[in-house]
Amino acid sequence: MGIKLRDLKAEARGLARAGKVVPALAACDHMLAANPLDDDSRRKIADLLLALGDRPGAIDVYRAVARHDIRAGHLLPAIVACKILASLGQKVDDLEAAMAATYGHGSRALAKFTARPAPADLDAEIAAVPPGAAGEPPAAVAARARARALDLSAFVQHPTQFLPVAFMSELPGDLFGRAIDLMRLIRGDDGDLVIRQGEPGKAFYVVASGEVRVFVKIAGAPGIAERTRLLEGALFGEMALYTDQPRTASVAVVGEADLLEMSRDAVSELCAEVPGLSERIDRFARERVLRNLLSTSPLFKPFDQKQQMDLMRRFEGHALDAGTVIIREGEAGRGLFVILLGEVEVMRRDGASGEDRRIARLGAGEVFGEMSLLADAPTSATVRAASATTILFLGRQYFQRLVQALPAMRKYFEELARSRRTE
């Protein structure tokens, strides 16, 4: 009787959580026997050997798996293995040097395009774990699983070029070891919250293995709305590189996941050590924020990827100091503004006192300036930068051509303007 690989992995996770380490180890050994290219089972065997008390066996597997991951294009799981080995008092200089040479900034092994090994087919059926495996002596199960995890003969060829890894490939090779030291390893179980919506952001995260989901609680609406799911290599929370403004979404682990956390203070420490690194990290973070804006903002949803980039080229970018007035109440509308980074305050003059009163605060991804353009009327409020802010500006004429050509776009802005008038 067969079972899907996905279901057997879930069963092994459940056994491990319940403290049934030997059956979980037998299940992982069985999966690796059925699919010798299953790196996930190989890494899990190392974890279970450690949980079983076989420290030398676990160290051997962690080290072998880390070397293999570096050569196979899986830098992030290799970093996880390094963090665990270091916590066990092991030297990892050789592994860090191999990572730096392969994935560091300027490495000749990095390429914009290259093939990656296909992941294991989780819907493939394999034979169920033999019933007799549960009664085997723990030492026998551990010895067999350790030997199988160390057998890498199924990998007859490794790639010669590798894709850059988010953030890490911005670092010069001689900073790799220091960066790994500054990272915090989070080994999350199903449902663990990594980021909570509304809390200040002080770090960003990289998914080293496993899966997380991004979701939001919408004010006035029941339940939550899931935005997306992120897998190995995905980076999230990068707004924390700029500001500790409240998180706009929550992130939780699905099943299990290994995450690498890098605080804003740690990034500052790295940048202080290498001239020019700050500029590279800043450019990297801005590109990340821009990509997120393109994929999540309703403004860009009617367009395909090429159209999005064409539209983005129509925008002008402006970096503003805190307190800069962007729109002044009563003046003619100049165009549409999109907040890329930072926050703005929306102020309206009180008729009785003559003083400006704050009526709203807008953050990254939000737009403003549309009301006067749609109504062809003077602006109804003053907008100023509440902090150091980067905005994108689209001129009045191009905006008007855009909403005339795209009814869905016009409807979006009309509904937004109606909602703001009501508020």
pLDDT tens string 125-153: 888 877 666 678 999 999 999 999 999 99
Say if residue 40's pLDDT is above 90. Answer: yes
Say if residue 200's pLDDT is above 90. Answer: no
> Is residue 357 a part of any domain in this protein?
yes
Tell me, yes or no, whether 120 and 201 share the same domain.
no
Tell me, yes or no, whether 89 and 229 share the same domain.
no
Residues 6+ away with beta carbon under 8 Å from 387:
243, 245, 322, 342, 343
- Which stretch of 10-24, 199-213, 216-230, 282-296 has the lowest confidence by average pLDDT? 282-296
Residues 6+ away with beta carbon under 8 Å from 366:
338, 339
- Residue 192's CATH number: 2.60.120.10
Mean pLDDT of 295-311: 76
Highest mean pLDDT among 82-96, 279-293, 399-413: 82-96
Tell me, yes or no, whether 53 and 158 share the same domain.
yes
Say if residue 253's pLDDT is above 80. Answer: yes
Tell me, yes or no, whether 144 and 7 share the same domain.
yes
> Is residue 24 a part of any domain in this protein?
yes
Q: Which residue has the higher pLDDT, 299 or 361?
A: 361
- Which stretch of 35-49, 271-285, 356-370, 385-399 has the lowest confidence by average pLDDT? 271-285
Predicted local distance difference test score (pLDDT) of residue 310: 76
Tell me, yes or no, whether 150 and 46 share the same domain.
yes
Could you say which of 295, 330, 346 is where a domain stops?
295
Which two tokens mark 325?
A: 């007035």
Mean pLDDT of 306-329: 86
When the pLDDT of each residue in the chain is averaged and rounded to a whole number, the result is 88
Q: Which domain range does residue 188 map to? A: 183-295
Tell me, yes or no, whether 414 and 269 share the same domain.
no
In 10 A of CB 90, how many CB atoms? 13
Report the residue count for the chain. 423
> Is residue 169 a part of any domain in this protein?
no
Cα–Cα separations (whole angstroms), residue 31 to 6, 8, 126, 147: 10, 8, 8, 14
Predicted local distance difference test score (pLDDT) of residue 418: 82
Tell me, yes or no, whether 7 and 58 share the same domain.
yes
- Give the model's confidence band at 423: pLDDT under 50 very low, under 70 low, under 90 confident, else very high: low
Tell me, yes or no, whether 203 and 287 share the same domain.
yes
Cβ-contact 61, 51 below 8 angstroms: no
Cβ-contact 270, 171 below 8 angstroms: yes
Tell me, yes or no, whether 313 and 291 share the same domain.
no
pTM: 0.79
- Collapsing DSSP states into helix, strand and coil, what is residue 110? strand
- Give the model's confidence band at 294: pLDDT under 50 very low, under 70 low, under 90 confident, else very high: confident
- Give the model's confidence band at 51: pLDDT under 50 very low, under 70 low, under 90 confident, else very high: very high
> Is residue 126 a part of any domain in this protein?
yes
Q: What percent of the chain has pLDDT over 90?
A: 48
Tell me, yes or no, whether 279 and 321 share the same domain.
no
User: What string of H, E and C letters represents the secondary structure of 156-175?
Assistant: CCCCCCECCCCCHHHCCHHH
> Is residue 178 a part of any domain in this protein?
no
Alpha carbon distance 423, 410 (integer Å): 20
Q: Which residue has the higher pLDDT, 369 or 422?
A: 369
- Give the model's confidence band at 165: pLDDT under 50 very low, under 70 low, under 90 confident, else very high: very high
Tell me, yes or no, whether 50 and 158 share the same domain.
yes
> Is residue 50 a part of any domain in this protein?
yes
Predicted local distance difference test score (pLDDT) of residue 46: 98
Predicted local distance difference test score (pLDDT) of residue 421: 74
Predicted local distance difference test score (pLDDT) of residue 133: 62
Say if residue 212's pLDDT is above 90. Answer: yes
Say if residue 305's pLDDT is above 80. Answer: no
Say if residue 185's pLDDT is above 90. Answer: yes
- Give the model's confidence band at 292: pLDDT under 50 very low, under 70 low, under 90 confident, else very high: confident
- Give the model's confidence band at 222: pLDDT under 50 very low, under 70 low, under 90 confident, else very high: confident
Predicted local distance difference test score (pLDDT) of residue 132: 60
Tell me, yes or no, whether 147 and 242 share the same domain.
no
- Residue 151's CATH number: 1.25.40
Mean pLDDT of 287-316: 77
Say if residue 124's pLDDT is above 80. Answer: yes
Q: Provide the domain count of the chain.
A: 3
Element of type H or E holding 385: strand 382-385
Q: Which residue has the higher pLDDT, 218 or 272?
A: 272
